[in-house]
Every structure is written in structure tokens, then in C-alpha cells.
Structure 1
Amino acid sequence: MAPSFGRSISFPLSPARASRPRAAAYHVRSVSLPCRSHPLLSHLCTHISAVRSWVADPISASKGLAHLDALHAALAELLLLPEAISALKHGSATSTCLLDGFLVLADAHGAFQEAVVEINAHASEAQAALRRGDDSRLASAVRSLRRAEKDLARLAASVQTAIKFPTATLSTSTSAAEVEMSGVLAEAVASAACASAAVFSAVEAVSASATAALASKKTVTSSLMSLVKSGKAAAASDEDRLEMLQTVESCVAEMESRSDRVFRSILRTRVALLNIQTQTCC
């Protein structure tokens, strides 16, 4: 646990006073004024900015989960501070809203873990069917993949509800410092929700590109259709389809290893909030 300490900003004395012999002997003296924001609050804000930057350009779902993991770690440290505890105690409605937001995140990430396991199994089934030339088995695997992709799309939509939970009652805090703390906590939940939705959508997109290539010529993707019209390719080859399925498996493997850490971090954060709320009620 990081110690709670006051930061300060130092300003040099005026040139007239600094020019005195005694002042010169002590080099440059200064006057210290208190600075409100705690270093851990700034640390959390840095991770919120990193998450927001990734959401604006979600290149890698794995990197998105890494940002989420770091965000929750910084949030867990902040919730140990007396300033954060005080803000949540004086704003019990805010604490309840945060708990609701983290419940939505926990449910979504738990369901996400189940979805990626299913996608991995269906992608392996599709590869086996493709290698053996078993069209009926391949069609069944494609249908299963599409159902899993729809589940991910629903998760991406549902997790967005966590964005609006924490912001409704920030005015219940009793001081400017508590309003600042509550606002950053609300922004952390909102950022985590946006990033979670982007991660779910990114995995869905990787899987959807593979199922589109596995489908019949009537359902081939628009990019492949443009290649057909230009005469550069008639359709994706079996080698291309296998490579796309392997990409899905690789993506899902990264998700499985990282998503569990994020899920556990969300649960720990919610437990910390519950503990603060319990202390408030006692």
C-alpha cells in the first residue's frame, strides 16, 4: 500500500529577496504550497488515457486487455487510500452506482470467457472438417461460430450500460477533493466499459472474417467479391481458410490467458467497494 502523503509545488522567492547576501548563501529558498491531487490519482488518470487511446484505435484485442488489466490494478491501489474511502463513504449513492457498474463488467467478462472457449472449439472443429472435406460438418461448425459471434455482439452492446451507472450522483460528495475522486472513479468504470466492448467486438471481427471465408460463394465477404470482380481471385482457397482459422485460434488463446486476469481484477475491485460500503453502513 502506497503511503498517503501531501505533494507540494515549490516557487522561488522574488528576485529582490533572493538577491540578498544571506539568501544567496543558502542558494535559492522556496515557499511550498499544497497540491490536492494524490500521485495515485494521477497514475490512474494516465491509465484511463491509455485505455481511451486504445479504444480510439483498437488494433489488438490482446493489447486492449493488457490496458484493462493495468487500469484495474491502478484502481485497486487508489481504493486503498483514505481519500478514496472518504469520497465513497460520503457519496454512498455513488458507491452503489460503482458497484452496479462493476457487476455489469464482471458478468460481461465472465460470459466473454465462455464465448472464447466456444469459439476455440468451433474453430478447431471447422479446421478438422475442412481438412477432411466434410461439408456437412463444416457447415455445422460455421453455424456454431456465428452463434458465438452473435453472443459477443450482444455482450459488446450490454457492457455499454456500465458507462452511465456511476455518473448520476457525484454531487453527493461534500468537498471538491471528493468530487474529483468520485469523478475519476466514474471515468475509470466508463473507460473500462468502452474498452471491454471494443475487445469483444475485435474478437468477433476476427472470427467473422473466418466464417465469411468458410461460407459459400453467395456469402463471400465484400473484400473477396471485389477481388472476384477484378479477376485477381475466384474465392478464398482452403489454405487461406485454414490460415484464417488458425488466426482465430491464436487470437482466442491470447484472450483466454489475459481475460481471466481482467475478470479477477474486476471481482477484487468490486469486493473492495463492498468492503467500503459495509464500513459505511456499520
Structure 2
Amino acid sequence: MESRYHVRSISLPCRLHSCTLRIDEELKKLKISEASSTSTYKSETIRANLSGLGELYEFVDDLLRLPLTQQALVQHQQEKWVGEVLDGSVRLLDICGTTKEVLLQMKERVRDLQSDLRRRRDKESSLHAYISARKKAKKEIVKGFEALKRMEGKLESSPLMGLDQNQAVLARLLREICSVTISIFKLLLSFVSAPGLNPKSSTGWSLVSKLLMHRVVVTCEGEEKANEVERVDDVVRNLCKHTSRKDGDVERVQIQILQRRLGALDVSIEGLEGGLDCMFRHLIQTRVSLLNILTP
């Protein structure tokens, strides 16, 4: 990546140097954590990544308050890289907001299904309502993946030329912050997508499937380490089969398993919502700071 940044060498001012060191440290930790998470997609791992991302954005706030940062952004506001930073801030905010809404709707559907099972309402209708809601959510997830992929493409296709060292360091940091945010949002969308209910194939869903090719980790016993969403989807799928066969004993056992797994998924979603709410606030703050700097 460093070869893409052509700079004039000067020493960094002390405050900027200190801030960039802290951000580089956080970026390094997040990249290591994100790389180790790509094969599991468990909620606790993603929640930890969201927490780390929130800490990174605390340092981003510090960076954007520095006079040198503000001066560099104002001086170069007509250049492509500054426009990309501003555009990226609103796109990440949009994706974060959409993902928050998907999680909220998913939690509501999980709780509706829990209630229906407790009250012994029409199980078949309840299960199909859950499946329908999951497929609807996946349409939004596909859009999110596509938006993130477009952002990645822009980051990879725009080398930075002719900047002095201060400006190049700032541009690099802002791009890497955007890049790691994209990666962690992809992890979150991967968790929610869990393609266990076999939606009809489409171009968009093929994209998601390719992005999730390495998601399954096999234990030494040969069992898949599914995440909380996949575990619920698996039982829902099995219950739909047994409901149609009128297999009462198997159905009762499956319902008990489903109730436990729905409870675990509800807890997982609440934890992710907390992390995502925090990130949403950070992204709003970043967007506001950028607009305040760049608006006359």
C-alpha cells in the first residue's frame, strides 16, 4: 500500500505524530482481530470488533480536531481524496442505519416467534412468517454488501499523488479507517445473512455467497460451528419438514431446541444493537466534524 503514496519527506509535528501513532495501533489491532474473525462470524467476536472500532473513532475525533488536519482538509477540499472521505462518511452512515433497522426487525420477528411457540399458536404460519422476514432482510443485506463492495473498489482505484508528508499521512489514515470499517460491517452483515433458509438464487445473493465462501469452520469431529442465526435457521428448516409430516415427538423436541436457540439469538442481537448504536453515533460525529471543517 505504501507505494501508492508519493510524498515529500518532512518531519511530522508532535501532536499529529502522537495521534497518528495511536490510530495506527488501533488499526493494527482491528486488522488482526478482523482477520481472525472471518471464519467464525460469531456474535461475540463481531461485538468485540464493533467495540474496537468505536475506540478507533474516538481517536478519529481527536485527529479531526487538530488544526493541521483541518488545514489540510480545507486546502485540498477540491481534490478527489477529500471528496471520497466526505462521500464515504455518509455512505457508511447509511449502511449502519440500514443494518440497525435489519437487526431491529429481526429481533422483533424472533420475539414474535418465541411468543407464538409459548402460546402454541399455529406453528406452521409462525415458522413461515419467520422465513419470510429473513428473506426480506436478506434483500437489504445484499444491497449493503454491494454498497460496501463499491466503496472498496473506489478506495483501491485512487492512488494519492503529490502530497506532502502531513497530507499523505492524513489521507492514508482516513482511507484505512474507512477500509477497516467496511470490513467489520461486512462481518456484521455476514452474521445476519446466514444462508441457511436457501433463498432463491439471484445475482445479488451470489455476491453474498462468494463473500461468505470461507465462513464455515469444521471442528475435529466434523461438525460445523454455526453462528446463532444459522442455528435458528437450521431448526426452523427442520421443523417445517416435520410439521408437514405430522411427526409429533420429533416436533416437540425440535420446538424445545428452537426456543433455546431463539433466546440465545435474542441476546446476541441485543448485544450487536448496542455496538451498532455506538458506531452510529461515532459516524454521525465524524460526518458532522467533516462538514464543519469543509463548510465555509
Question: What band does the TM-score fall into relative to the shorter chain?
Answer: 0.7 to 0.9
Residue of structure 1 in register with 2:237 after alignment:
215
CA distance in 1, matches of 2:36, 2:49: 10
Residue of structure 2 in register with 1:170 after alignment:
160
Structure 1 segment 95-110 matched on structure 2, within 5 A:
95-110=82-97
- Whether 1:52 aligns to 2:37 is no
Question: What is the CA distance between 1:244 and its match in structure 2?
Answer: 1.6
CA distance in 1, matches of 2:175, 2:252: 48
Match of 1:65 among 35, 47, 50: 50
Q: Where do 5+ consecutive residues of structure 2 fail to align?
A: 1-10, 195-227, 243-249
Residue of structure 2 in register with 1:80 after alignment:
65
Question: What is the CA distance between 1:133 and its match in structure 2?
Answer: 5.3
Q: Where do 5+ consecutive residues of structure 1 fail to align?
A: 1-33, 221-232
Paired amino acid for 2:281? R
Residue of structure 2 in register with 1:260 after alignment:
277
Deviations 1:199-230 (A, max 9, x none): 2212333324312321247889xxxxxxxxxx
Residue of structure 2 in register with 1:124 after alignment:
111
Residue of structure 2 in register with 1:28 after alignment:
none
SS in 1 for 2:65: coil
Range 207-216 or range 64-73, more displaced: 207-216
TM-score by length of 1: 0.74
CA distance in 2, matches of 1:269, 1:35: 23
Larger radius of gyration: 1
| Structure of higher RCO (CA pairs closer than 8 Å, 6+ residues apart) | 2
Aligned CA distance change for structure 1 residues 219 and 108 (closer, same or farther; 3 Å): farther
Residue of structure 1 in register with 2:132 after alignment:
143
TM-score by length of 2: 0.71
Range 204-213 or range 70-79, more displaced: 204-213
SS in 1 for 2:161: helix
Question: What is the CA distance between 1:242 and its match in structure 2?
Answer: 1.4
Question: What is the CA distance between 1:240 and its match in structure 2?
Answer: 1.6
Asked if 1 retains the 8 angstrom alpha-carbon contact of 2:89 and 2:283, the reply is yes
C-alpha RMSD of matched pairs (Å): 2.7
Question: What is the CA distance between 1:234 and its match in structure 2?
Answer: 10
CA distance in 2, matches of 1:152, 1:244: 22
Range 102-111 or range 45-54, more displaced: 45-54
Asked if 2 retains the 8 angstrom alpha-carbon contact of 1:99 and 1:270, the reply is yes
Match of 2:262 among 245, 252, 262: 245
Deviations 1:140-169 (A, max 9, x none): 122212322442343233223333445626
Match of 1:197 among 186, 189, 196: 186
CA distance in 1, matches of 2:12, 2:285: 30
Question: What is the CA distance between 1:63 and its match in structure 2?
Answer: 1.1
Asked if 2 retains the 8 angstrom alpha-carbon contact of 1:87 and 1:182, the reply is no
Aligned CA distance change for structure 1 residues 183 and 268 (closer, same or farther; 3 Å): same
Deviations 1:53-102 (A, max 9, x none): 22212242211211221121111111111222233223322221101111
